[in-house]
Amino acid sequence: MFKAALLVIAFILLAAIAVRYDFSWSAPFVKATNVVKTHVLEVARAADEAMEKHRNQAETIEKYRAENEKLRENLEVLSAFANEVVSLSKLKEYDPPADFKTRAVRAVAYSELPDLQRITIDYPDLKQGEIKGLIFNEFAAGIVISGAGNYSKALLNGDRECSYSVFVGETKAPGVAMGRGGEMIVRYIPLWMSVNVGDEVITNGLDGIFFAGAKVGVVTKVTRQSAYIEASVEPYYKTFDHGYFYLIEAVK
């Protein structure tokens, strides 16, 4: 490439000299030189156009890259918003008894992995020692036991430390529902009460955690202990796809 450039320059110099001193053979030589000059100028112009085109392409690519990045960010925001809307839409409108009100709260994260029955919710107002009930639509889902800043910890139905008072069956046999590794068990049912497989379990509201009547689950097994009846319960709420709940608050 360098040698070729030198030859072109030498060719042009010879042409200039021939013209300057009017050599007889200069005419065809100059004509040939003009052809070379024209070709060199065209090559240079083509090179400039190619560089300009490349520069414009680079600027266009960078512009589109920035626009795509912005679109991707907007898509992520819209996707997150859509997920929130879908999650919130699963929470049906629910009217509690007159002495209670409900407040929608959102599950933020699991609070103590690998325990999937303990979650953090966005509820900032829990006072020391308070326990509040969580329901998902008409189903009792768990209890809220402690707060920290803008969040609180909730124990879902299957947690062994989750407990609240209930009635079992049409006889309204009283007992205490407790978590048992993802399921529930109702203990302390009086021996003289009638409890059967298939009986529905509901909250009785006597502990101040829930109002009376929130559905808990169905009895799957009945065991008579020495001092009380114990009933295994399949809870209605036992999903791991946590979204929004209603938190139960007593009207003061």
Residue 72 amino acid letter: R
**Owner of token pair 């808990």:** 216
Q: How many domains does the chain have?
A: 2
Closest C-alpha to 93, from 55, 125, 60, 136:
136
Same domain, 77 and 107: no
Same domain, 186 and 225: yes
pLDDT band at 84 (very low <50, low <70, confident <90, very high): very low
pLDDT band at 31 (very low <50, low <70, confident <90, very high): low
Same domain, 77 and 109: no
In a domain, 94, yes or no: no
Could you tell me which residues come within 8 angstroms of residue 83 by beta carbon, excluding any fewer than 6 positions away?
A: none
Range of the domain at 74: 2-86
Same domain, 244 and 151: yes
**pLDDT number for residue 129:** 85
**pLDDT number for residue 87:** 43
User: 179 vs 148, which has greater pLDDT?
Assistant: 179
**pLDDT number for residue 28:** 55
In a domain, 91, yes or no: no
In a domain, 131, yes or no: yes
CA–CA dist 148, 43 (Å, integer): 73
In a domain, 67, yes or no: yes
In a domain, 52, yes or no: yes
In a domain, 196, yes or no: yes
| Domain of residue 241, CATH code | 2.40.10.350
Average pLDDT over the chain, rounded to whole?
77
* Mean local confidence (pLDDT), 210-236: 94
User: 228 vs 27, which has greater pLDDT?
Assistant: 228
Same domain, 180 and 70: no
In a domain, 234, yes or no: yes
CA–CA dist 235, 183 (Å, integer): 6
Contact 209, 248 (CB under 8 A): yes
Same domain, 131 and 82: no
Same domain, 19 and 139: no
% of the chain at pLDDT higher than 70: 62
Does residue 164 have a pLDDT over 90? yes
CB burial of residue 115 (10 Å; 0-12, 13-18, 19+): middle
CA–CA dist 167, 204 (Å, integer): 6
Closest C-alpha to 202, from 165, 151, 252, 159:
165
**pLDDT number for residue 75:** 45
Same domain, 33 and 126: no
Residue 193, token pair as written in the block = 């009460």
CA–CA dist 109, 199 (Å, integer): 33
Closest C-alpha to 156, from 175, 143, 170:
143
**pLDDT number for residue 82:** 38
Could you tell me which residues come within 8 angstroms of residue 196 by beta carbon, excluding any fewer than 6 positions away?
A: 169, 219, 222
Same domain, 136 and 200: yes
Question: ∠140-143-145 over CA atoms, to 5°?
Answer: 170
Same domain, 127 and 73: no
**pLDDT number for residue 25:** 47
User: 26 vs 230, which has greater pLDDT?
Assistant: 230
Same domain, 215 and 123: yes
Same domain, 37 and 139: no
In a domain, 93, yes or no: no
pLDDT digits (tens, 9 = 90+) for 185-216: 999 999 999 999 999 999 999 998 999 999 99
Ranking 90-99, 108-117, 173-182 by mean pLDDT, the lowest is: 90-99
Q: Which residues pair with 134 in a beta bridge?
A: 142, 247
pTM: 0.64
The alpha-helical segments, DSSP class H, found in the chain are 2-21, 26-89
**pLDDT number for residue 182:** 77
2-21 vs 26-89: helix axis angle to the nearest 10?
Answer: 140
Among 27, 51, 86, residue at a domain's last position: 86
Among 86, 120, 147, residue at a domain's last position: 86
Among 86, 118, 147, residue at a domain's last position: 86
